[in-house]
C-alpha cells in the first residue's frame, strides 16, 4: 500500500506535521506566510514550502495534488479568537479570523479523504465556526469537533486546543486519552541548569535586580511572592494591582506539567516561565521539549522567530495521537458510511 500523504496549510514550523509523519503519513506540500517557519519546515521535511499569502495559492501550485492527497491539515491564525486577541486593537485580526475560508477553498480544490483544523478553543464557540459548519453541510464530509487537553496525551503541558476533523465516507473519531502523564522533570530534568548554548539551550542575560526578583519566587509561586518578600524591587505596576493573574512571573514545578508555552516564554513577566530550580526563564530548548519537539528537530531563525515557532506549534505528541486516530479510521477500519 502506498504511504498516505498530507498537505499542511498555515504550517508553522511543523508541529502537526511531525505527529502525522510519526503516525505513518508523509508531508508532500506546505504553506505559511512566515519565512523563518517555512525555512524550518523545509529543512526538516525536505520538500518545497510555499511562503506567502495563502490567497495566492492556486491550481498552478496545487494542480498535481488534486485527488491525490489523503489529508489536509492546518491551523488558521488564532490571534483574533484567543482571549488575549480580543483585547488587541489590531485591525488585521478581523481579516485573519476569516482565513478558514481559504482553507475551505483549497479543501474544495484538492478533495482529500479527510481534513483537520486546529485552533484555540474559542474558535469552536465563534460565529466564524458556525459559518464554517454551514459551509461544510453542502460538502460530503462527516465532521466532529472537540477541545483536547495536551496533558491527556503524554504532553508535559496543560495546553488546550480546539480541533475539527472531517472525513468522506467514514465517521471520524478523536483519540482516547492515554494513561501517560509527563511532568516538567520528565521533559527537561536532564538538561544543564546553566544554559550551555548547545542546540538552542540558550539563556538571557538578566540584570542583578532581575535575578533578585527571580530568587523571591518559589516553585509554584508567582509575582505575589515577589510583592510580599521584596516590595522594594517589585515593579510599581504590580504593586498598584494587588489582584490578577497568578501565572505572571510564575515558577514551574518539577513534579507537575507546565502551563501553556506561548511565544514569549523567555519573558517571565508574560507567564509561568521561570525554571523550577534555576533563577532564570526557561530556554528555547526547554520550551521545545515541553512542546515535545525532539532534540534533532532543526529550528532556523532568530531567537524571537524560533520562540514564536515553538509557542505557536501544536505539540507533536498530541498531533501524533490525533493523526493515528485518523489513520486508523481511514485505512484500518472495515466499516464506512454510505
For residue 69, the tally of other CB atoms under 10 A from its CB is 21
78 is catalytic: yes
For the chain, the distance separating the N- and C-terminal CA atoms, rounded to the nearest angstrom, is: 23
Beta bridge partners of 163: 118, 146
176-211 pLDDT tens trace: 999 899 999 999 999 999 999 999 999 888 999 999
CA distance 82 to 57: 26
Provide the residue ranges of all domains of the chain, joining segments of one domain with +.
5-176+314-330, 184-310
Q: Would you list the DSSP string of 49-63? A: EEES-GGG--HHHHG
SS3 content of the chain, % helix, strand, coil (to 5): 40, 15, 45
Cell of 123: 474558535
DSSP for residue 24: T
Q: What is the pLDDT of residue 338?
A: 47
For every residue of 122-172, DSSP letters joined together read: GGGGSHHHHHHHHHHHTTT-EEEEEEEEGGGGT-SB--EEEEEEEESSS--
For residue 7, the cross-strand partners are 29, 72
Q: pTM higher than 0.85, yes or no?
A: yes
User: Which grid coordinates are listed for 285?
Assistant: 530548548
CA 187-190-195 angle, to 5 degrees, is 100
45's CB contacts (< 8 A; 6+ apart) are 14, 17, 21, 27, 30
Q: What pLDDT is stored for residue 87 in this prediction?
A: 43
pLDDT of residue 95: 57
Conformation bin of residue 220: beta by default, left when phi > 0, alpha when psi is -120 to 50: left
Closest CA to 4 of 328, 338, 337, 336: 328
Buried b / exposed e along 290-299 (16+ C-beta atoms within 10 A): bbbbeeebeb
Low-confidence ranges of the chain (pLDDT < 50): 86-87, 337-338
Give pLDDT, residue 140.
Answer: 87
List 11, 13, 78, 216, catalytic entry: 78
Distance CA 176, CA 149 (A): 11
CATH fold label, 184-310: DNA Methylase; Chain A, domain 2 (3.90.120)
The tens digit of pLDDT for each residue in 3-21 reads 999 999 999 999 999 999 9
Find out whether 274 and 184 touch, Cβ atoms under 8 Å: no
- For 210-238, the DSSP string reads HHHHHHT--TT--HHHHHHH-GGGS-HHH
CATH superfamily of 5-176+314-330: Vaccinia Virus protein VP39 (3.40.50.150)
What is the length of the chain?
A: 338
Q: Three-state DSSP class for 180?
A: coil
pLDDT at 85: 53
Amino acid at each position: 500500500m502506498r504511504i498516505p500523504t498530507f498537505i499542511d496549510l498555515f504550517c508553522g514550523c511543523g508541529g502537526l506535521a511531525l505527529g502525522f509523519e510519526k503516525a505513518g503519513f508523509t508531508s508532500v506540500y506546505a504553506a505559511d506566510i512566515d519565512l523563518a517557519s517555512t525555512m524550518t519546515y523545509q529543512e526538516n521535511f525536505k520538500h518545497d514550502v510555499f511562503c506567502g499569502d495563502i490567497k495566492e495559492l492556486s491550481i498552478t501550485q496545487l494542480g498535481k495534488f488534486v485527488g491525490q492527497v489523503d489529508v489536509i491539515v492546518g491551523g488558521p491564525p488564532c490571534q483574533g479568537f484567543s482571549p488575549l486577541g480580543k483585547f488587541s486593537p489590531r485591525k488585521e485580526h478581523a481579516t485573519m479570523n476569516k482565513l478558514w475560508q481559504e482553507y475551505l477553498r483549497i479543501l474544495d480544490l484538492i478533495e482529500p479523504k479527510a481534513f483537520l483544523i486546529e485552533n484555540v478553543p474559542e474558535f469552536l464557540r465563534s460565529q466564524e465556526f458556525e459559518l464554517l459548519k454551514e459551509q461544510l453541510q453542502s460538502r460530503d464530509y462527516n465532521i466532529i469537533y472537540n477541545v483536547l487537553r495536551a496533558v491527556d496525551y503524554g504532553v508535559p503541558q496543560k495546553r488546550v486546543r480546539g480541533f475539527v476533523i472531517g472525513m468522506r465516507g467514514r465517521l471520524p473519531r478523536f483519540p482516547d486519552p492515554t494513561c501517560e502523564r509527563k511532568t516538567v522533570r520528565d521533559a527537561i530534568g536532564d538538561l544543564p541548569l546553566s544554559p550551555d548554548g548547545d542546540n538552542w539551550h540558550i539563556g538571557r542575560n538578566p540584570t542583578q535586580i532581575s535575578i533578585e526578583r527571580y530568587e523571591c519566587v518559589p516553585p509554584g509561586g508567582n509575582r505575589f511572592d515577589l510583592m510580599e518578600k521584596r516590595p522594594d524591587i517589585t515593579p510599581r505596576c504590580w504593586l498598584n494591582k494587588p489582584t490578577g493573574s497568578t501565572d505572571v512571573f510564575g515558577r514551574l514545578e518539577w513534579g507537575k506539567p507546565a502551563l501553556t508555552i506561548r511565544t514569549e516564554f523567555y519573558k517571565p513577566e508574560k507567564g509561568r516561565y521561570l525554571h523550577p530550580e534555576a533563577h532564570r526563564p526557561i530556554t528555547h530548548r526547554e520550551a521545545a521539549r515541553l512542546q515535545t519537539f525532539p532534540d534533532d528537530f532543526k529550528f532556523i531563525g532568530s531567537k524571537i522567530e524560533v520562540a514564536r515557532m515553538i509557542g505557536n506549534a501544536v505539540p507533536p505528541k498530541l498531533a501524533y495521537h490525533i493523526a493515528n486516530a485518523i489513520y486508523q479510521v481511514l485505512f484500518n477500519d472495515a466499516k464506512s458510511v454510505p
